[in-house]
């Protein structure tokens, strides 16, 4: 909103959390937060998948849920907020089909703001 975008929250259950409107059009945003850090590097690890019910799946400790990646038909960007309050805005095309990423130097170009 500080950049002049209009931000909307969907009323129905959809794979994204927010919709932004700007001169570039509408974008679907999935919001992720993380406190999880890699043991060896201390870098943040972000889970990018979602769990869905699969009636035909094998029942396990989580019932019949399975992890799936987001697709380009569902999400345009990931808005990631770390426990240290760093904000990343990463296009789905950069991390497509990954179930998690580690916020290392290859994602530094997507860092929006440092801690307030």
The CATH number assigned to the domain holding 30 equals 3.40.1350.10
Tell me which residue range forms the domain holding 62: 6-113
Burial class (CB in 10 A: 0-12, 13-18, 19+), 30: buried
Banded model confidence at residue 61, pLDDT cuts 50, 70, 90: low
Could you tell me if residue 86 is inside a domain?
yes
pLDDT at 63 over 80: no
Instruction: Take residue 7 and report the two structure tokens written for it.
Output: 């931000």
How far is Cα 82 from Cα 66, in angstroms, rounded to an integer? 25
Q: Whole-model pTM?
A: 0.84
pLDDT at 70 over 70: yes
Backbone angles phi, psi at 18, to 5 degrees: -140, 160
The number of distinct structural domains making up the chain is 1
Could you tell me if residue 1 is inside a domain?
no
Q: Which residue has the higher pLDDT, 90 or 57?
A: 90
């Amino acid at each position: 909103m500080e950049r002049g975008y209009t931000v909307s929250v969907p009323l129905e259950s959809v794979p994204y959390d927010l919709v932004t409107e700007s001169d570039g059009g509408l974008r679907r945003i999935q919001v992720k937060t993380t406190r999880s850090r890699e043991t060896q590097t201390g870098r943040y690890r972000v889970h990018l998948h979602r769990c869905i019910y699969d009636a035909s799946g094998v029942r396990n400790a989580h019932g019949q849920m399975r992890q799936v990646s987001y697709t380009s038909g569902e999400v345009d960007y990931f808005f990631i907020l770390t426990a240290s309050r760093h904000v990343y805005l990463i296009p789905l095309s950069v991390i497509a089909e990954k179930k998690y990423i580690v916020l290392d130097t290859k994602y530094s170009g997507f860092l929006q703001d440092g801690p307030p």
